[in-house]
Amino acid sequence: MKLWVGCCLAVGVVAAGAAWFTVAARETGATHAVCGPDLGRDEVVAAQSKAVAVVEAVENTSYREDGGSAYLTTRVKTLETLKGEFGDVLHVTQGVKNGGTPGRYATEDPDRYAVLEPGRQYVIAVQSGSTAGTVGTEAWAWYAEPAQRGVDGEREHWQEALASPPEAAVNSSCEDVDGQAG
């Protein structure tokens, strides 16, 4: 009987401690790191990208899901190379939300990472992969935005962004974000 009472008392103490810890953690908030360049600043996109171009999306060529992630590959025609080298036509892959169907793809951040739709023009920034347009290769677009300024306007805008590198070191772009209490 004493053993049973002792076990119940120990379980009660542990449960009370866990409850206190859970309430205290909610009241104080949480801190986590957010890493990655600020894709809201075009000078950062220009500085961190291997290549930047104005392209026209020609055709979505493949969609695949792998390990909880989804990828859309689009054949694009290069209209204006802004940084690096681009072939006349190349395949560009980008991450999209799972469950897409032809013509119905979405991304987590459509303002800085628009889904490439055939017939529309975009400014894309490539982080890795081949931009040469060689058969069987593809580039990874980590930034895609509709080309709202037209080809000439985008050229002028991105030349300014390339000429204005960010002041801070863009490779060490992690910052702590405090969560709200409650």
Which has the closest alpha carbon to 40: 106, 111, 101, 115?
A: 111
Q: Could you state, in order of their start, the residue ranges of all structural domains in the chain?
A: 42-163
The Cα angle at residue 38 between residues 176 and 142, in degrees rounded to 5: 120
pLDDT tens sequence across 83-131: 999 999 999 999 999 887 777 788 887 777 899 999 999 999 999 999 9
How many CB atoms are located within 10 Å of the residue 72 CB?
21
This prediction's pTM: 0.71
| The CATH number of the domain covering residues in 42-163 | 2.40.50.120
Q: Which amino acid is at 107?
A: T
pLDDT at 69 over 80: yes
* pLDDT of res. 63: 92
The predicted pLDDT at position 16 comes to 46
